[in-house]
């Protein structure tokens, strides 16, 4: 079971930095690149983190579905 499902990793807030979001669409595929600020706890210890992310969406029967998601921490931010 993933960390979130076991309750070890909890998010209190996940905020997208709207000024850092880039959307590119290629037919039935869309790529969203952006930045988030997160606050939560891991194994009871509080944390704050900033990350950059890339999400790939595909259009399937008129609905957009998340096909892939990748995040990279920004250290020292």
CATH of the domain at 39: 3.10.450.50
This prediction has a pTM of 0.70
Q: How confident is the model at residue 2 (pLDDT cuts 50, 70, 90)?
A: low
pLDDT more than 90, % of the chain: 66
> For residue 39, what pLDDT is reported?
95
48-52 long-range contacts (CB < 8 A, ≥24 apart) are 49/73, 49/74, 50/74, 50/77
Give how far Cα 9 sits from Cα of 12, 17, 18, 50, 61, Å.
10, 22, 25, 16, 34
As for how many domains the chain has, the answer is 1
Domain of 16 in residue numbering reads as: 3-73
């Amino acid at each position: 079971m993933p960390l979130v499902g076991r309750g070890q990793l909890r998010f209190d807030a996940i905020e997208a930095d709207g000024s850092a979001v880039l959307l590119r669409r290629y037919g039935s595929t869309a790529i969203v690149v952006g930045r988030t600020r997160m606050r939560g706890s891991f194994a009871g210890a509080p944390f704050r983190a900033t990350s950059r992310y890339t999400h790939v969406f595909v259009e399937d029967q008129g609905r957009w579905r998340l096909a892939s998601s990748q995040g990279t921490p920004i250290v020292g931010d």
